[in-house]
Amino acid sequence: MTPRWFQPITILLVLSTTTVGSNLQAQTDSTVRAWVGRLAVPLQGTSVFDAKLSALVSTADVVGLGESVHGIEDFSAYRIAVLKRLIQHDRVTAVVLETGMPEATLADRYVRGETTTLDYRAALGGEFAASPSFHDFLVWLREWNEGAGRGSAVGIYGVDASIGDGATMVPALDLLGASGNADIRRLVDSIRPIALRVAAPWWGAAAKNYQALSDADRTGLTSLITQLIRTAEQSTDRNRDARQWDVQLARLLRQDQTILANDQSSGSNPRDLAMAENVLWLYRRLAPGQRAAVLTHDAHVQKTLIVGQQTPPGGVPNMGQALAAQLGARYLAIGTTYGGPAVDNSSAPLPEAIDSILSNAAPAPFMIDLRELARHEEIAAWGNAVRPMRFQTGYLSVAPWRAFDVLVHFDHVAAPAKQRSPFE
């Protein structure tokens, strides 16, 4: 699913000197580097890092773990190390991935010991399926659930309505087709022929197929999905958990239809709004004191509008902004930055970019609590000014204090074998 304004770009975002010049007044980048050097926490498995991480998440119910570029094994290894720490010590019991919620049920069954093998690509899509460290993590998580975590098993969930490979509504229909409710199965059978006409080998083709449907077919699909949601909500012949999943899967069909029906260049960004809805649904299912960790791109995690060279004027809404509006301080947004050569063209980061400012400020990789930095008056304005921050193969425009609570910085990363858009 690639909106036109999020196609990978090599054009660098250029910010006016008014934004990153006069607004900064006398607060220089070197002053920021000095403060980062004092407050940065090394990532290399220190007790200081463990204590800082626990303190950061102590007031949060949902933790967003972002990455500025998909498919970077350095980012994957760091996020997995953090996940293990949060699972072992900070009661994270829901690991939510940037993949389809219906498809991720395959991974969930595997880590809970209900199946013995896992088709990673079918369950997780390209990025996680291609990561050796994530394969190892799922094996570790399965062992954790069988041992120390047995009393409170950790689940794997998807944040998207579908995996984005063009199957769109079909995976959710397959799960609903196994429902014990005859009325639900009847409606699934009525929806499936239309869903199969829409489905395609990739998402863009599926969107074209949906647009090619007749008005009568689109209206009929809307009516059938509405009936399905109502039927699932009113069902009384299933246990509470099964009914909740039936309702959620039916709502995923509505999300898929909304995403297919909307021009992704419009700026409404229905995909991110659906992601937020799905995270909140999972969050509300957690027992008191339990937490969810959400692994997505920085652009989804950040708490401010997505603004870049190709976004519509004013930017577009995103998941993190919606979560912050609902949860306030109970949502913790952690982003990543990196210095050195860009993974796509080996260019250095822009001098005014956040990635550049953090480079060599402290031994990397390190974590910096932006809320702690923002308390220091001499650099407060710096973090409220809009600056470029690396995003896939270009830059987004970000005011770091407002967009993220924490940043994790790497001085350099190894390029992935193949670049992809964060919305593929």
Instruction: Report d(CA 384, CA 382) in Å as an integer.
Output: 6
Instruction: Report d(CA 147, CA 287) in Å as an integer.
Output: 20
* pLDDT for 420 beyond 70: no
Residue 123 located in a structural domain: no
- Number of structural domains (the chain) is 1
CB atoms closer than 10 angstroms to residue 17: 11
CB atoms closer than 10 angstroms to residue 22: 10
pLDDT for position 125: 83
- pLDDT tens for each residue of 53-86: 999 999 999 999 999 999 999 999 999 999 999 9
Non-local (6+) Cβ contacts of 241 within 8 A are none
pLDDT for position 205: 94
Only one residue has tokens 């060279």, namely 309
The whole-angstrom distance between residue 394's C-alpha and the CA centroid of its chain comes to 18
**3-class SS at 15?**
coil
Residue 314, phi then psi, degrees to nearest 5: 90, -10
Omega within 30 of 0 (cis) for the link into 171:
no
269-296 in b/e form (b: 16+ CB < 10 A) is bbbbbbbbbbbbebbebbeeebbbbbbb
Average pLDDT, the chain: 90
pLDDT for position 46: 74
Averaged pLDDT for residues 192-213: 95
Residue 397 located in a structural domain: yes
With cut-offs at 50, 70 and 90, classify the pLDDT of residue 14.
very low
- pLDDT tens for each residue of 230-261: 999 999 888 999 999 999 999 999 999 999 99
Residue 151 located in a structural domain: no
Residue 303 located in a structural domain: yes
Strand order in the sheet with 155-160: 41-42, 366-369, 406-410, 331-338, 62-65, 291-295, 92-100, 155-160
Parallel, antiparallel, or unpaired: how do β-strands 406-410 and 366-369 relate? antiparallel
Residue type at position 310: Q
Residue 212 located in a structural domain: no
Are 49 and 57 a contacting pair, CB within 8 Å?
no
Residue type at position 284: R
Range of the domain at 20: 4-91+289-410
pLDDT for position 310: 81
Residue 369 located in a structural domain: yes
Residue 298 located in a structural domain: yes
pTM value? Answer: 0.92
- Secondary structure (H, E, C), 221-256: HHHHHHHHHHHHHHCCCCCHHHHHHHHHHHHHHHHH
Are 162 and 103 a contacting pair, CB within 8 Å?
yes
Q: What is the largest CA-CA distance in the chain?
A: 69
- pLDDT tens for each residue of 334-352: 999 999 999 989 999 999 9
Specify the CATH number for the domain of residue 50: 3.40.1660.10
Averaged pLDDT for residues 349-370: 95
Residue 238 located in a structural domain: no
